[in-house]
């Protein structure tokens, strides 16, 4: 039978040291938690932790902080912004009851959106630990998070793609070649986002200006982003650079964010700076949206910085979504397999983590995409990524990456290609963001049904692209 923090299972009494210990030991096996020394030692102990966790009242998460309130601004953010009115409909539930409520047919997208501000990251992480993969998919599919800048992201029946034209030396012509390739495959509605090889503000400004020239000249209803540190972006804004979105990697504890060189106040300053530019109102639009932030996360980031406070890596990741939620981002994505096998050892662990991340982010009201990826020293391959990508598409994923050939030659890891996005859209009957889909049709890149048209050397879109100074 189960008690508050103990349970008798298989003739043995299992005792857990509070929520932090219970959550860690209830987590599906992953190498990062073993590395941190917080994982269950056996499958029986893991099941015992889940039985205990199922009986924990959701209210307990509001009074028992996993990371101390006094020393962690992420905890303070979560506690101080908790919406008690939104929480009220589920306040009487245990974690196990919450799982049943989420899976109930009567709990629809509107009900999930209504309670999202009342769900803390720890609650989301806890209930995910009681769920099978199919449960994570079924609930996430019901969660709808819609955001806007120059187009609309997250609508039902839509799958956006980040066009990722990275280049190892930031060569503008090389980046332009990848951009053109991606656009002709219908990628780029989420963002055209470049990971720069340099931290030179002058060089970064050149990249921002090039993205702006392409987007403005072709009147593409999308947004550009150079994924540099937020302080570099602030300097570019101060110097008048045409910044659309502010990017930053974030984590789930104050100490881990300090490792990234950021604070919540700095993120707020950057958001205010981007909003002041009113870039979403380009092309004659009436300011289609004001979601100006782009965040990336990943399980293991807090542990790798020794900033996890004994909290399991998946719960730390959910706390990162609590940070993201506070800044109303256009896009947030987990770079699920990028950090390496020390944290997610193989394809099975990466697949599970990707489904958990998507579920927790969407449940909290965050527009969650996924960089379905792995590093070459992980026990994973492209078949594993096909599986995760297809499962996430079924779960209603907001966006994926579009990398030429799925091989990022600058960051040296394996992601998803332009062709992968085409496969997923075709398989599941998904379309681009509506404004972007209309542009593709006007440019004769797709037909009225969203199917790609053949791109010959005389394609009208190519003719316009060749007139750009950066065109290869």
Q: What is the mean pLDDT of each run of 10 residues along the chain (472 residues)?
A: 74 94 98 98 97 98 98 98 98 98 98 98 98 98 97 97 96 92 96 96 96 93 98 97 98 98 98 94 64 97 96 98 98 96 97 98 98 95 97 98 93 95 97 97 92 78 67 47
DSSP class of residue 471 equals: -
Q: Phi then psi for 9, rounded to 5 degrees?
A: -140, 130
Answer for the pair 351, 74: CB distance below 8 angstroms, yes or no: no
What is the predicted pLDDT for the residue at 121?
98
pLDDT of residue 288: 77
Residue 255: CA count within 13 A, CB half-sphere: 16
Q: What are the Cα distances from residue 296, in Å, to 65, 322, 367, 370? A: 24, 13, 11, 9
Q: What does the pLDDT read at residue 37? A: 98
The DSSP secondary structure of 196-263, one letter per residue, reads -S---HHHHHHHHHHHHHHHHHTT-SS-EEE---HHHHHHHHHTT-----EEEE--SSHHHHHHTT--
pTM: 0.95
Specify the pLDDT at position 472: 45
* Residue 289 pLDDT: 87
Question: Tokens representing 470?
Answer: 């950066």
Q: What's the confidence (pLDDT) of residue 287? A: 55
Task: Give the C-alpha separation, 33 to 344, whole Å.
Answer: 9
Residues forming a β-bridge with 334? 297, 370
Whether 376 and 413 have beta carbons less than 8 Å apart is answered as yes
**Both structure tokens of 358:** 């998507």
Contact 160, 432 (CB under 8 A): yes
Residue 10: what pLDDT?
84
φ/ψ (deg, to 5) at 141: -65, -30
456's enclosing H/E stretch is: none
For position 470, what pLDDT does the model report? 58
pLDDT of the residue at 1: 37
């Amino acid at each position: 039978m189960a008690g508050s923090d103990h349970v008798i299972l298989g003739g043995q009494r299992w005792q857990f040291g509070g929520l932090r210990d219970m959550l860690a030991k209830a987590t599906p096996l992953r190498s990062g938690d073993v590395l941190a020394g917080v994982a269950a030692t056996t499958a029986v102990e893991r099941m015992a932790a889940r039985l205990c966790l199922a009986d924990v009242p959701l209210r307990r998460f509001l009074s028992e902080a996993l990371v101390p309130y006094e020393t962690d601004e992420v905890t303070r953010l979560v506690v101080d912004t908790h919406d008690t009115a939104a929480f009220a409909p589920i306040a009487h539930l245990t974690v196990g009851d919450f799982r049943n409520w989420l899976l109930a047919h009567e709990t629809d997208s509107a009900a999930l959106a209504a309670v999202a501000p009342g769900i803390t990251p720890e609650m989301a992480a806890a209930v995910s630990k009681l769920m099978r993969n199919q449960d994570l998919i079924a609930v996430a599919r019901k969660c709808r998070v819609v955001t806007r800048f120059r187009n609309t992201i997250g609508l039902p029946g839509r799958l956006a793609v980040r066009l990722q034209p990275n280049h190892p030396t930031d060569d503008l012509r090389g980046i332009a070649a990848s951009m053109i390739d991606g656009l002709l495959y219908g990628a780029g509605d989420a963002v055209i986002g470049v990971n720069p090889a340099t931290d030179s503000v002058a060089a970064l400004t050149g990249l921002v200006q090039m993205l702006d020239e392409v987007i403005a000249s072709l009147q593409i209803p999308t947004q550009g982003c150079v994924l540099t540190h937020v302080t570099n972006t602030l300097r570019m804004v101060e110097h008048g650079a045409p910044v659309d979105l502010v990017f930053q990697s974030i984590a789930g504890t104050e100490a881990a964010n300090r490792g990234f060189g950021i604070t919540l106040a700095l993120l707020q300053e950057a958001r205010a700076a981007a909003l002041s530019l009113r870039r979403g109102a380009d092309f004659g639009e009436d300011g289609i949206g004001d979601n100006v932030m782009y965040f990336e996360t990943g399980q293991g980031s807090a542990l790798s910085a020794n900033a996890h406070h004994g909290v399991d890596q998946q719960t730390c990741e959910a706390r990162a979504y609590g940070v993201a939620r506070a800044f109303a981002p256009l896009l947030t994505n987990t770079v699920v397999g990028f950090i390496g096998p020390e944290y997610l050892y193989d394809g099975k662990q990466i697949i599970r983590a990707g489904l958990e991340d998507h579920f927790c982010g969407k449940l909290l009201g965050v527009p969650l995409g996924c960089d379905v990826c792995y590093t070459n020293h992980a026990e994973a391959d492209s078949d594993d990524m096909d599986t995760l990508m297809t499962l996430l598409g079924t779960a209603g994923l907001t966006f994926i990456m579009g990398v030429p050939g799925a091989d990022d030659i600058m960051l040296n890891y394996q992601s998803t290609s332009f062709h992968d996005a085409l496969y997923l859209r075709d398989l599941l009957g998904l379309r681009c963001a509506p404004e972007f889909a209309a542009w593709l049709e006007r440019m004769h890149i797709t037909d009225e049904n969203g199917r790609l048209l053949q791109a010959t050397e005389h394609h009208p879109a190519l003719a316009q692209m060749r007139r750009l100074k950066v065109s290869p």
